[in-house]
Each structure stands twice: as structure tokens, then as C-alpha cells.
Amino acid sequence: MAERRVVRYLSRADVQRCLPPIGGQIDLAEEALLALTRDTAEVPALIGVHPRDDAFLHAMPAWDKMSDIVGIKWVSHYPLNPTLGLPAVSGLVVINDAETGLPVCIMDGTEITARRTAAVSGAAVRLFAPLPASGHQAGAGVGRVAGSRERGPAVDGVDPCAGREGQRTYAIGFVGAGNQARMHLEMLVDTIGRVRVRAYDAVSGRAEAFVEEAAHSRCVAAAAVAEDAAAACRDADIVVSVASSRTLGQKVVTPDMLTPHCLVLTVDWAIMLTSSLGQDAGLFLVDDLVQFTQAREGTEQEWFTGYPRAHGSLGRALLAAERIATSDAGGGTPGADASGGPVSRAPVREAVAAALGGRADGRILVATLGVGAVDIVTAGAVYRVALQEGVGRELPA
């Protein structure tokens, strides 16, 4: 008798239950980016269709050779959906058995997309977050400030909101205040500790809602609504560009709005950033060089027009950091001393920038376009947990 085959279905709630903590999500993103760099992942160029103006559906297949996870994400982006009470991004991930090709799992892709996007930014933050500028104090100079709530009481004298650089407060500017802003705020707090937030969004009421939530989030020292993109970027150590649509305004962030040491993370295909920001960057990285080149040189969509060639990929930066850390610390990891304890990232950051032909004393720009390997590696980890814990619903094949 033939073995009964089933396909496991995971809802968004199931995916949320099976995801690792934020640090683990960043680890998975780094694993996938390194696999892409080492050529241990097969990731063809994504293809897409565009049924409506400014909307698309993309097919993103990938195979990670080391974990032998293979699958595809089918994801849509309809930026005007929120006006109809619908999510702007939706999708499904299908995981296949690498031996037979048969589908073994179908899961909601919305949470995978949201979390993996912030996780890729988290990989950049681990490497390149600058030391906060001097004078950054909780609640200082943020304008319309809402209240705040800390992570919890100190344990054995240790500040629970202190990041790897000690008890410092990072200034974060958000250009865009939708779901990705929320994902990135959670990632930033988990990765660097205490922050103060200033946010701008062209959609009426969205920045106010985000700031109200942020003000009651752990380790947010203060939060305020910015009157425009320039105000959101002012004095920021890290700028996160997460605008939802080009129809809501574009190409408004210029180099003069930013601090000299700023780390700029853009996950919206740089629709809010002028090309001069790329030209001015001391180091310019992307998650996928092939996809970036196609977007930059394409004629159908005006993505990254006028931007220079990237210094390299984020995966190459991670590989350089790994080699530097191994050489300097006898097998350690970036941001850790030989005993595994936290140290300043500055030396590693400078060495990585130099290895890629850039410089760390200027602004660092990291553009995430979305690479299928990160989705599939993350989804594979979720599927393994679901199998172990019996999460989800079994459907007849």
C-alpha cells in the first residue's frame, strides 16, 4: 500500500508560533546571504507580473544546498490595498521535498516576508551600526514626544535595554510608518538596545499610530511624529526608509538631511532616496547584486536610476567580517572578542568597508531588494519546528 501523503498547511499564526526569536531570524538571514555569496544556494532571478499600476506579483524560488531546503514564495504587493482595509503585502510559501520534488508544506508568506526583511536589515545593523552621536539623551530634542516604557527592571545591575555598545541611546529616523517600520523597530531594539524614534509618513494618521505604539514599546526612550522626511532624518544615527508606494511621494531624502556617520537602510527600492545619496555613500551595499543590476539598468521601471554600482553585496560584507574575525580572534564572530564577549564593532566595520573598496568614515547605505534564499531558509526553519511540535493542519495530498 502506498504511503499516505499529506501537505502541512501553516497559517500566519502558525508561522509566528514557529519562528525563532529575532536574533535567530537574523542568524537565518545571514546564513542565506552567505550561502548566496559562497554559491551554495541556487537562486534564479525573480520573475513577476504587474496586473495593476504600481502593483506586482513575484515568484521567488530558491534552493539552499547546505540545508537541502527548496521552495518558492509567491508574493504580491498592492500598495493601495490599505485604503480598502486589505494588507499591502500577501503571499504563500511552498516547501518541496528536495529528493522527490513533491510539495510538503504550504504556509502563509506574509509573516515570512515581514520578518525576513527586517532580519536582513538586522544583519547590516550588526555590522555597521555607528556609535550614537554624542549628546543623544533619552527624550532630547524629539519634538512631539509620546510616553515610553522600558523593557523591565535591571537584573543584577545589568540594564536590560543596553545594547552591545553599552548604555547608549540611538536616534532612529523612519521614513514610512507602516508594518515594516514596526518590524524594524522590534529588530533594532533587540539588536542595539535603547532608541529614540522620529517617524514620518505621507499617509495621514499612519505616523501618529506608529509613534503611539512605539512609545509603549520596550526600550523606546521617546517617540515623536516628524512633520516631513527631513525632520525624520535629522540627527539620526540610523535612517530606515520603508515607504509603501511611489504614488505617496518619492525621491525626497538628500545627503544634506543626514548625519555624516548615518547608517541608511532602505527596503522600499530606494523610492524615497535621491540617487545622490548612493553617490555620496562611503559604502553602498545591496542584498543581491544581480537583482540590483537588473533593476538599475532596466527600462520598464525606474528603480535606482542614477545610482552608482554597489561596492558589493551584504553577503560579501558578512563573509569579509567572518574572515577578519576568524583571523583576529582565533575563530570568533563579528562583534565579539576572543572569549565571545561583546566589543565595539568599529574595527570590524572599518576593515569590512576597506575590504569592499569603501570607507566606514562616511555614510553607509544598505539596500534590500528581497532575495528568495532568505525567505526559503527562514521558511525551512519554520517548517522543521512545525513538524517537531505538530503545528499546523495536515491536508490530503
Question: Looking at residue 155, what is its pLDDT?
Answer: 47
From the list 245, 269, 241, the residue with the least C-alpha distance to 184 is 241
Of 17-31, 166-180, 192-206, give the range with the top mean pLDDT. 17-31
pLDDT higher for 139 or 78?
78
Could you tell me what percent of the chain has a pLDDT over 90? 70
Q: CATH classification of 6-113+373-396 is 3.30.1780.10, yes or no?
A: yes
pLDDT of residue 82 exceeding 80, the answer is: no
**Average pLDDT of the chain to the nearest whole number:** 87
Q: What is the mean pLDDT of residues 382-390?
A: 97
Read off the pLDDT band of 300 (50, 70, 90): low
Mean pLDDT over 21-40 rounds to: 97
Averaged pLDDT for residues 114-127 = 97
| Over residues 56-61, mean pLDDT | 95
For 83-109, the pLDDT digits (tens) are 787 888 899 999 999 999 999 999 999
Q: Is the dihedral of CA 320, 318, 342, 234 positive or negative?
A: positive
Burial class (CB in 10 A: 0-12, 13-18, 19+), 254: middle
Q: Is the pLDDT of residue 251 over 70?
A: yes
**Nearest to 169, CA basis, from 219, 123, 206, 212:** 219
The pTM of the full predicted model, rounded to 2 decimals, is 0.89
pLDDT at 326: 83
Which of 254-263, 271-280, 332-341 is least confident?
A: 332-341
> pLDDT value at position 301?
63
The pLDDT score that the predictor gives to residue 150 is: 41
- Other CB atoms within a 10 A radius of the CB of residue 330 amount to 8
Look at residue 352 and tell me whether its pLDDT is greater than 80.
yes
Q: What pLDDT does residue 66 have?
A: 94
Domain positions in the chain:
6-113+373-396, 133-370
Confidence grade of residue 46 (pLDDT, cut at 50, 70, 90)? confident
Contacts of 223 (CB under 8 A, 6+ apart): 142, 145, 146, 148, 196, 197, 198, 199, 211, 212, 214, 215
**Residues 6+ away with beta carbon under 8 Å from 275:** 304, 305, 306, 307
Angstrom distances, CA of residue 210 to CA of 199, 217, 348: 8, 11, 34
pLDDT over 80 at 351, yes or no: yes
Residues 39-61, mean pLDDT to the nearest whole number: 92
Higher pLDDT pick, 157 / 20: 20
pLDDT-derived band at 27, boundaries 50, 70, 90: very high
| Dihedral sign for Cα atoms in the order 232, 233, 238, 243 | positive
pLDDT at 35: 97
Fold for the domain defined by 133-370: Rossmann fold (3.40.50)
- Whether 370 shows a pLDDT value over 80: the answer reads yes
Look at residue 292 and tell me whether its pLDDT is greater than 50. yes
Q: Name the band, by pLDDT with cuts 50, 70 and 90, for residue 158.
A: low
pLDDT score recorded for residue 73 = 97
Contacts of 179 (CB under 8 A, 6+ apart): 87, 88, 89, 114
Task: Band the pLDDT of 148: cuts 50, 70, 90.
Answer: very low
What's the pLDDT score for residue 244?
Answer: 79
* Mean pLDDT along residues 185-190: 97
pLDDT attached to residue 397: 79
Could you check whether 6-113+373-396 and 133-370 share the same CATH topology? Answer: no
Cβ-contact 348, 319 below 8 angstroms: no
Residue 131 has a pLDDT of 83
Q: What is the pLDDT of residue 250?
A: 78
pLDDT value at residue 141 = 37
